[in-house]
Amino acid sequence: MSATTLTAAPPVSRAGGIQGPAALGAAALLALGALGIGQVVGPRQAALYLLGAALGLVLYHAAFGFTSAWRVFIADRRGEGLRAQMAMLAIAVLLFFPALAAGQLFGQPVAGNVSPIGVSLLVGAFLFGIGMQIGGGCASGTLYTVGGGSVRMLLTLAAFIAGSAIGAAHFHWWQAQWHLAPVSLVRDWGVGPALAANLALFGLIAGGTLWLERRRHGAAVAPRPRPPLAPRQGLARLLRGPWPVLAGAVALALLNFATLALAGKPWGITSAFALWGSKAAMALGIDAAAWPYWQAPAARAALEGSVLRDVTSVMDIGIVLGALLAAALAGRFSPGLRVPLRSALAAVIGGLMLGYGARLAYGCNIGAYFSGIASGSLHGWVWMAMAFAGSVIGTQLRPLFGLEVERTPRQTGC
């Protein structure tokens, strides 16, 4: 499919100096939040909050997007973003697999994200793929672009949370449909063979994108648009960006491994959305506590307790604030209230599909795809295939909502 542009992409705002009030506000919220969480829950939870902030900063400065990377490849066979994802996954499995096989990391028990393959996963990942292209972002992309000042993505996030709650309400029905037992390649094959198979697949995908890109364009060049100002160097570039996308891939892999060490499980995002949505439903008089999704003791404790005690929730909040800090340091925090009607409609429809699909598919582009594959779970690869197929459909639907189908990655990763 050839790329079609119906609406011109908004010009990248000319980055200026550090936006002091926004930067100080974000830094204060991070510092005070860490102190408060440390007092209420404990220092480990506070560290996870700040780890979320680091993830948000990396995502923003590297403009690391799953959504736009897939869309650009689908539309114009530009594969830089997909190759960065393969590099990220390769580093992750090299770090994760030995720790998961040992069952511990620095004395902390650890377990991966390993989920079943079945109707729920297939349908959910496909819906998520459509939703990410219509809504304009994946789970991580939605959070960091909200932190960066995107008002449109607030609509996507609100619908994402609502869709997650609806998915939690229906989850027991989907779980009852056909499915296979979870498959852990690390457990069933051993570390060596599992690593060899995964690294070979990463190489095949990266090589395939290069071949297809060169076949269409003659060379795998088409870098991201140059920053509007001369690139910063040294510490200034580290703090204020922009970062090469490959640097973002390395940082995300390392930070996911740090999450495994601190939380005992890999990075995830959307379970918190189901929690927030279900809490909101209860506030509206809906008995979400009666849903089978919340009957396990740990799930019930999360629903009845403070969100500050939920690892995923505090990391998600940290991502938003870390991206806000990054945007202010880059001089690019400039929220605008004007959202075209068709674009707003797409944000709501896409967000609902994202939330519902993520619940059915045991996670999103982070919890199921990134962390699932890093955990050696076969469901992560199936999620990728089905979500990519959904993205093909979603990319074709974007023009109906007046949304751009770009030929090269843009400065925001969504």
> How far, CA to CA in Å, does 220 sit from each of 40, 82, 214, 413?
51, 13, 5, 19
Burial 381-413 (b: 16+ CB within 10 A, else e): bbbbebbbebbbebbbbbeebebbbbbebbbbb
3-state secondary structure of 79: coil
- pLDDT number for residue 31: 97
Token reading at 212: 């297809």
Q: How far apart are CA 23 and CA 41, in angstroms?
A: 26
Q: How far apart are CA 163 and CA 72, in angstroms?
A: 26
**What does 165-178 look like in DSSP terms, one character per residue?**
HHHHHHHHHHHTSS
Q: Domain residue spans in the chain?
A: 20-220+235-401
Q: How far apart are CA 108 and CA 114, in angstroms?
A: 19
Cα dihedral value 218, 404, 240, 270, nearest 10: -110
> Is residue 308 classed exposed, middle or buried when 0-12, 13-18 and 19+ CB atoms within 10 A define those classes?
middle
Q: How far apart are CA 346 and CA 397, in angstroms?
A: 10
> How far, CA to CA in Å, does 3 sit from each of 72, 103, 402, 406?
8, 46, 13, 6
Measured CA angle at 355 (ends 353, 356), to 5 deg? 65
| CB-CB contact of 316 with 267 (8 Å) | no
- pLDDT number for residue 1: 36
pTM of the full structure: 0.91
Q: How far apart are CA 154 and CA 55, in angstroms?
A: 19
Closest alpha carbon to 145 in 382, 374, 295, 332? 332
- The pLDDT profile of the chain, 414 residues, written as one tens digit per residue, is 333 333 333 333 445 688 889 999 999 999 999 999 999 999 999 999 999 999 999 999 998 889 999 999 999 999 999 999 999 999 999 999 999 999 999 888 999 999 999 999 999 999 999 999 999 888 888 888 898 888 889 999 999 999 999 999 999 999 999 999 999 999 999 999 999 999 999 999 999 999 999 998 887 765 554 444 446 676 777 777 689 999 999 999 999 999 999 999 999 999 999 999 999 999 999 999 999 999 999 999 999 999 999 999 999 999 999 999 999 998 888 887 788 999 999 999 999 999 999 999 999 999 999 999 999 999 999 999 999 999 999 999 999 999 988 766 554 445
